[in-house]
Structure 1
Amino acid sequence: MNPNNHNSARRFVGQLNKTKKAAAASTLPPPEKPERLNRKLSALGATGGSLWKTLNHYVMEGNIVKKCELQSCIKELRKFKKYPKALEIMEWMEMRKIDYSYTDHALRLDLISKTKGIVAAENYLNNISPLAKNKLTYGALLNCYCTAAMEDKALELFEKMNQLGFLSNSLPFTNLMTMYLKLDKPERAIYFAQDMKQKNISPSTFTCNVLMQSYASLNDISGVESVLEEIVNAGENKCDWTTYSNLVSIYVKAGLFEKAKLALGKLEEKMKPGAPRQAYHFIIGFYAAIDQPGEVDRMWKTLSSVYPTFNNLSYLVMLQALAKLNDVVGLKKLFKEWESSCPYYDMRLAEVVIGAYLHHDMFEEAKLVFEDAIKKTKGPFLKAREKFMLFLLKNRQLDLALGYLDAAVSEANDVKEWTPFWRLTSAFLNYFEENKDVHTAEKVLNILKPFHRLNSNDYRSLLKIYIAAGKFDPKMRRRLEEDGIEIRCEIEELLQVVCPQLD
């Protein structure tokens, strides 16, 4: 036998087997790609599943967990305020000995504050390594204090940072300035802006915007404009679209519409190609606020040319603008356009339309939108129900209003979240005062009590209802004291009528 023929036959058989294997492989489905880690973890933020279990299982499947993936997911969870889940990822990172940067320590401190409180955040800072106790982690704790408006602790920590040489940028100053605006102490915000200037620390764009708001809070428009002039003259690219957006909002609030219109022109000039949707949203809202329907329409068309696909937020902003302009026809048309193309049903848009219809006494149209929304989304529907209650009380239809109240309470008991709009309680009490109806007033307040803590204004209205109805309650004074209501002159005078003290 010729050995060459034998070798040729063996090669032929081997090639035939390879061909068969390849053919068989081609008929099999391709191997499944593992689901992206950040998609798995982000989904847990909504479903509430076990994050540690998911991560451990992912590793056991032979997958490698990259720190950048975890950081991306933490960012996504924080964006949607899923702070406990974001903190769990950071705790898992520590358990798996994934190195923490100083930024990671600062981020974890912030998440601890949001989920477990300020004391837990303080303990975390006290227990990390000395090297990690730097301007980032101290700055994160300062931000926590300022967010919680803890003035004394914020000032104490700020001074400590100053002594340690950690005040090297504008952020600590800006945090204090923002806190003082929240505390309605704008003059203190201006003081820290001047202190920063004396330390030769350059302000950020956001710092300048806060400073402008501080002067605006003092009704000092010239002070606002002097800050803008200083920013423009600095020529350090600190004057961007947010600066003029801030200026426009100040002018609009002050009723200076002509100045607002000029500032809007400047805002548009500052918008570079690729400006975020948010910039267009601001401009649309501001043009609506100064009653410029033509400019609203122009900017909507401009937005569509830059971002051909509208998202829910863009539609929301435009619907709000049309509602403000009382353009019911345009609003109805745009809402139908959104409904026909929306990726998911956003109740906020329906609420705008319901509010606009009710404002124009279009109750049946508003009711149809609401009923349709109930079929298309799980809600919540509390804000929409409030709008109906306010409308019905204004039109003296108490029974229908009480029906919406019962539905709201039933829903609130399920979601465990409802803080009724302050105007709602006032509207009910004003109605009962006009109708001298003590019994139903007390019934409604009792219904609202789990969701709304009665304040001095509520009790003032309740006392007036008793007086209008000619009713007395000897226990009313004690009731106010038990609810922590400060009894000042007007309330004292009303109490003397409702529960007169016998000699």
Structure 2
Amino acid sequence: MALQQFGRSRSVTKRSKKHLEEALYKRLFKDGSSEVSVRQQLNQFIKSHKRVYKWEVGDTLKKLRQRKLYYPALKLSETMTKRGMNKTVSDQAIHLDLIAKTRGIPAAENFFIDLSESSKNHLCYGALLNCYCKELMTEEAEALMEKMKELNLPLSSMSYNSIMTLYSKTGQSERIPAIIQEMKASNIMLDSYTYNVWMRALAAANDISGVERVIDEMKKDGRVTRDWTNYSNLASIYVDVGLFEKAESALKELEKINSFKDLSAYQFLITLYGRTGNLLEVYRIWRSLRLAFPKTASISYLNMIQVLVNLKDLPGAEKCFREWESQCSTYDIRVANVLIGEYAKQDLLKKAEELKERARRRGANPNAKTWEIFLHYYLKNGEFGSAVDCVANAISAGRGDGGKWIPPQEIVNTFMRHFEQKKDVDGAEGFLDTVKRAVDTLEVEVLESLIRTYAAAGRTSPVMRRRLKMENVEVSEASKKLLETICVD
């Protein structure tokens, strides 16, 4: 299927019947932005064999990637290749990145190897480098960077930023100043992100005066376009070391720069003013956000309610929650979880239960986080029977992102110590049956605790040795001695 080239008009108002009736990205998101609905719409588009303009594909891929819908994005990219879209080198770099995110680094490496030599320019090398850095593959990233230098490929701040981010995440922040000096020596312009990474590296070394010199240098460099993230970064560094007045000065600078009214900037302002303990400023920014975004998103309410809870303003959090609840089109359990968590923390169990049930009636079933909140409450109060039910419910519900919930090892150990002290073999076995729904194998300390529970209760288990073999664990000498008394026919 032929695709319209970039030279054609970007208008979608005068399409022929061969084309989609609406822009592709609108078609894919018409039923919402969940991966399931996007995939369904994408499959319908593919079956329709309708034409789209090439710029639409690029625009749609950008929107899919922004929403982290990598599988649909890769499928769209592959479909367009099959239909004859002439991919630029930039398109190939994006495709490589999508492969890495969906099929792993080896698949991305194979795609890179199979590219024509003319396509292996700084963009594709840079895309592979970024993949290595995100996966914290230090040796591979450093080797590829050296290869790019050997090939005299034009290096930009983007490649250096990837390497520096890698060093930050792997506890090698002390290497970042040397990278900055290399960039300067090579006349590679530092961008806003570079300055942020540099500031964070100096903050990690507790060099706050160094951080301030960096922000001053950025101000003096007329080539750099400062953005609000520089000042949110600076304010966060000040907050971390308790310099609240300087943090608030940085936040005032952030407000001046946020002339385009970026939603994320407002949310960072609320969070950081909250961390300074300035409740008045939190409310002032909230009012500004609401004026800028009358249809305020649930994520903004979630952030505000969390900040109010952290500042011990429960009445304010409840009022904000009621406002959200009265106008939300979709009841988001994450917003309710913030208040449920605070109620449980303050031993207001009845209010927590009532809110959970109200959320359920509005179509928001409890997720693993909800049950975790009640789990910690019951453990704190020694109500282990109810706590076991919470573990079972959390495993059944799963995480809000669709992932599997696995009980933390410390929680499992807490349960096992309880059953051991109570000599409760049946309770321990029932609990482990629940845990096995979420994990493939049990830790050795869990099984050793189970052995001690059997011994303390005077119970026998002819199959215990076989169980240990199936779990592929080697128990201590003390546990082996106890097995002599437990494993009798």
Q: TM-score range by the shorter chain?
A: 0.7 to 0.9
**Residues 209 and 465 of structure 1, relative CA distance in 2, 3 Å threshold:** farther
Contact 1:475–1:499 (Cα < 8 Å) also in 2: no
Matched residue, 1:152:
139
Percent identity between the two aligned chains: 34
Matched residue, 1:83:
70
**Residues 157 and 434 of structure 1, relative CA distance in 2, 3 Å threshold:** same
In 1, distance between residues paired with 2:399 and 2:167? 36
Q: For residue 235 of structure 1, report the CA deviation from its aligned partner.
A: 3.4
Q: For residue 289 of structure 1, report the CA deviation from its aligned partner.
A: 1.4
Larger Rg: 1
Matched residue, 1:40:
27
Q: 2:297 aligns with which of 300, 311, 336?
A: 311
Contact 2:398–2:405 (Cα < 8 Å) also in 1: no
In 2, distance between residues paired with 1:170 and 1:355? 43
Where do 1:43-192 residues align within 5 Å?
Answer: 43=31, 45-47=35-37, 48-49=39-40, 51=42, 54-59=45-50, 64-192=51-179
TM-score in terms of structure 2 length: 0.82
1:352 aligns with 2:325: no
Matched positions, count: 452
1:411 aligns with 2:401: no
Q: Secondary structure at the match of 1:49?
A: helix
Contact 1:433–1:465 (Cα < 8 Å) also in 2: no
Deviations along 1:444-468, one digit per CA (max 9) or x if unpaired, are 355334535889xx76688689779
Contact 1:437–1:465 (Cα < 8 Å) also in 2: no
Q: Secondary structure at the match of 1:377?
A: coil
In 2, distance between residues paired with 1:396 and 1:100? 62
In 2, distance between residues paired with 1:449 and 1:83? 31
Deviations along 1:316-357, one digit per CA (max 9) or x if unpaired, are 111111111111111111111101111322221111111121
1:242 aligns with 2:212: no
Deviations along 1:425-461, one digit per CA (max 9) or x if unpaired, are 4245335536625744565355334535889xx7668
Contact 1:248–1:264 (Cα < 8 Å) also in 2: yes
Q: Which amino acid in 1 is paired with 2:281?
A: E
Q: Secondary structure at the match of 2:398?
A: helix
Q: For residue 166 of structure 1, report the CA deviation from its aligned partner.
A: 2.3
Deviations along 1:216-244, one digit per CA (max 9) or x if unpaired, are 22333233223222222323344332111
**Residues 500 and 90 of structure 1, relative CA distance in 2, 3 Å threshold:** same
Please, which runs of 5 or more residues in structure 1 have no aligned partner? 1-32, 486-491
Contact 1:418–1:451 (Cα < 8 Å) also in 2: yes
Q: Which amino acid in 2 is paired with 1:155?
A: E
**Residues 171 and 237 of structure 1, relative CA distance in 2, 3 Å threshold:** closer
Matched residue, 1:23:
none
**Residues 237 and 464 of structure 1, relative CA distance in 2, 3 Å threshold:** same
Q: 1:212 aligns with which of 193, 199, 211?
A: 199
Q: For residue 253 of structure 1, report the CA deviation from its aligned partner.
A: 2.3
In 2, distance between residues paired with 1:105 and 1:265? 42
In 1, distance between residues paired with 2:444 and 2:230? 43
Q: For residue 110 of structure 1, report the CA deviation from its aligned partner.
A: 0.4
Q: Secondary structure at the match of 2:86?
A: coil
In 1, distance between residues paired with 2:88 and 2:120? 12
Q: 1:334 aligns with which of 294, 298, 320?
A: 320
Q: Secondary structure at the match of 1:70?
A: helix
Q: Secondary structure at the match of 2:40?
A: coil
Matched residue, 1:29:
none
Q: CA RMSD in A?
A: 3.3
In 1, distance between residues paired with 2:150 and 2:163? 17
1:394 aligns with 2:380: yes
Q: For residue 39 of structure 1, report the CA deviation from its aligned partner.
A: 3.1
More deviation, 371-380/341-350: 371-380
Q: Which amino acid in 1 is paired with 2:88?
A: S
Instruction: Return the structure number with greater helix share.
Output: 1
Contact 2:416–2:449 (Cα < 8 Å) also in 1: no
In 1, distance between residues paired with 2:126 and 2:379? 49
Q: Which amino acid in 1 is paired with 2:372?
A: E
Q: Secondary structure at the match of 1:34?
A: coil
Deviations along 1:124-183, one digit per CA (max 9) or x if unpaired, are 112222221111111000011111111111111111111122243111111011111111
In 2, distance between residues paired with 1:216 and 1:75? 33
Q: Which amino acid in 2 is paired with 1:389?
A: L
Contact 2:360–2:366 (Cα < 8 Å) also in 1: no
Matched residue, 1:18:
none
In 2, distance between residues paired with 1:214 and 1:292? 27
In 2, distance between residues paired with 1:352 and 1:369? 11
**Residues 366 and 414 of structure 1, relative CA distance in 2, 3 Å threshold:** closer
